[in-house]
Amino acid sequence: MKLNSTRNSSNKVNFYNAVLDCMPIDGGLYIPEDFADLRKWLLYTNEKTTFSSIAGALTSACINDEFSPIICETIATKAFPFSPKVRRLDNNLFALELYHTPTGSHKDFGISYLVNSLETMLTMNGETATFLDATVGELGASLARAIRGKKHLKAVLLYPRGFVRGLEESDFVWNGGNVLPIEIDGTEHNCHEIVREIFADHAFVEKYHLTVANTANIGRLMPQMFFYPYAFSRIKNQVNGDIFYAMPCGNYSNLVAGLYSWRLSLPLNGFICSTTDEIKVDLAGNCEIMDSIVELEKRENADPASPSNLERLEEIFGTSALMLRHFIYPAQVSSEEADEACRKLFKDYNVYADKPTSQAYAAALKRKEVIDEDDASLVLVMRDHPALKAEYIRHTLGEAPEMPERIAEALRHTSIDRPFLASTEEVLLTMADEL
């Protein structure tokens, strides 16, 4: 797979370099240059095809110019001892649950894949790398779990004071582990600022082979493409018409990944989401991206600390504008409409839904005219375990799901008993001493 930057199509790299050196020097984000046509293979899959098999096959199709099918299959098998689940809620309504993971978060899929693919590539090349990320818990817990026992990877995790979660004493680098946790005497915003400042020091980034485990890294985004072929394999023999996906926007990574699946020739007919500050509906009812009015060369560099995939979405629009204006269906959703959708999901299907899921379902209800055409089916994407947002659900429904023990254990508070740091310089010195 060849990739290029959103801001310079001549800046081409292979998958390994895009994952290892994940932030292009021109300030953009890496995107795939082309896609294989996998329609015949996708139509061959069925409910017996495992998620890891789908991941291995798609990995091979995307990076077969760098790695053999056996290596691609090995990466997927190691990455995915867990799998999404698809539940049929009604004749034409399905739920794609992405939270059957160690931490209850959909992030586990992308992080596990990124770690295992990068560890494989680093081993083959005799190199090492270090993740540098800011986190308030889930990402750090997922990353720490994924890199345990890895020989070529470490992680530096910056936490706001009091937010260290999901680590074990054996994870700490001073105990021989792979994780250097650092508590910042400040907020999550302060942690993000430090990550940005460090990535602006290109010499330091190159010296320690720094990369990120968030979706700025194409290796973290790419495995989210696997969700949609998996859902298709489960429902294709149960539906007769079009297939639409309703999803929370988040930082647009799942939406971009869904469109990448479409570029792989996955049969689907569109994506429904609630509007955001960046994605609106024009007077004709079509999707428009507000940031597109700002020229790329006049924008800030892509953010390595708190990424948005909007620029990747813009690239897809720029490539296939006419098609995609009839492929993404936003709807403006109020808080009251989201709450009502939450109650409807519980009343009709006994489904606990967090606010992002409720907003996605509310958007689908408001774009009902799209789904009602040709007996279409809707797949509701549920990213995270509802117990992670129990407060919203309890406030809306009067009750909430219990936290599964595995998730509570994975996200328990951890004390690292180290001094709090307050500046980028202190973090740099600590990294130099400990790594």
Judge whether 228 and 266 are in contact, CB under 8 Å: yes
What's the token pair of residue 353? 């839904």
Instruction: State how far the Cα of 351 lies from the Cα of 345, in Å rounded to an integer.
Output: 5
In this predicted model, what pLDDT tens digit does every residue of 374-396 receive, in sequence order? 789 999 999 999 999 999 999 99
CA 215, 216, 217, 218 dihedral sign is: positive
Q: For the residues 55-61, what does the mean pLDDT come to?
A: 94
In this predicted model, what pLDDT tens digit does every residue of 233-275 receive, in sequence order? 999 999 988 999 999 999 999 999 999 999 899 999 999 999 9
pLDDT of 291 reads 65
Q: For the residues 191-211, what does the mean pLDDT come to?
A: 96
Percent of the chain exceeding pLDDT 70 equals 97
Is 359 domain-assigned?
no
- The CA–CA distances, whole Å, from 241 to 41, 230, 269, 374 equal 20, 18, 10, 6
pLDDT of 321 reads 62
Question: Rounded to an integer, what is the distance from CA 175 to the centroid of its chain?
Answer: 30
Is the pLDDT at 289 greater than 90? The verdict is: no
Is the pLDDT at 292 greater than 80? The verdict is: no
- 3-class secondary structure, 280: strand
Residue with tokens 């050196």: 21
Is 196 domain-assigned?
yes
pLDDT of 418 reads 95
- Arithmetic mean of pLDDT over the chain: 93
- 3-class secondary structure, 187: coil
Domain that holds residue 184: 107-218+413-434
Is 274 domain-assigned?
no
Burial 204-213 (b: 16+ CB within 10 A, else e): ebeebbbbbb
319 confidence band (pLDDT: 50, 70, 90):
low
46 Cβ contact list (under 8 Å, min separation 6): 233, 236, 237
pLDDT of 80 reads 98
Instruction: Report which of 235, 96, 299 is spatially closest to residue 310, judged by C-alpha positions.
Output: 299
Instruction: Report which of 175, 184, 185 is spatially closest to residue 154, judged by C-alpha positions.
Output: 175
Is 147 domain-assigned?
yes
Instruction: State how far the Cα of 72 lies from the Cα of 91, in Å rounded to an integer.
Output: 36
What's the token pair of residue 428? 């740099």
User: Nearest 5°: CA angle at 328, between 323 and 334?
Assistant: 155
In this predicted model, what pLDDT tens digit does every residue of 116-173 receive, in sequence order? 999 999 999 999 999 999 999 889 999 999 999 999 999 999 999 999 999 999 999 9
pLDDT of 370 reads 85
**Neighbouring C-beta atoms of residue 241, cutoff 10 Å:** 14
Is the pLDDT at 320 greater than 70? The verdict is: no
For the chain, the residue count is 435
3 Cβ contact list (under 8 Å, min separation 6): 12, 13, 14, 15, 18, 30, 31, 32, 33, 218
Is 268 domain-assigned?
no
277 confidence band (pLDDT: 50, 70, 90):
confident
User: Nearest 5°: CA angle at 59, between 55 and 61?
Assistant: 120
Burial 134-156 (b: 16+ CB within 10 A, else e): bbebbbbbbbbbbbeebebbbbb
Is the pLDDT at 227 greater than 70? The verdict is: yes
pLDDT of 369 reads 87
Is 120 domain-assigned?
yes
In this predicted model, what pLDDT tens digit does every residue of 332-346 receive, in sequence order? 999 999 999 999 999
DSSP 150: -
Which residues, in sequence order, are bridge partners of residue 117? none
Is the pLDDT at 65 greater than 90? The verdict is: no
What is the chain's Cα-based Rg? Answer: 21
Is the pLDDT at 365 greater than 90? The verdict is: yes
Is 143 domain-assigned?
yes
pLDDT of 240 reads 86
Is the pLDDT at 51 greater than 70? The verdict is: yes
Residue with tokens 């105990």: 175
Domain count for the chain: 1
Judge whether 119 and 423 are in contact, CB under 8 Å: no
Phi, then psi, of 183 in degrees rounded to 5: -90, 125
Q: Where are the alpha helices (DSSP H) in 148-201?
A: 188-199
pLDDT of 106 reads 96
293 confidence band (pLDDT: 50, 70, 90):
low
* CATH number of the domain encompassing residue 144: 3.40.50.1100
The structure's pTM equals 0.95
CB hemisphere CA count around 411 (13 angstroms)? 21
Is 256 domain-assigned?
no
Q: For the residues 188-209, what does the mean pLDDT come to?
A: 96
Percent of the chain exceeding pLDDT 90 equals 82
In this predicted model, what pLDDT tens digit does every residue of 392-420 receive, in sequence order? 999 999 999 999 999 999 999 999 999 99
pLDDT of 283 reads 73
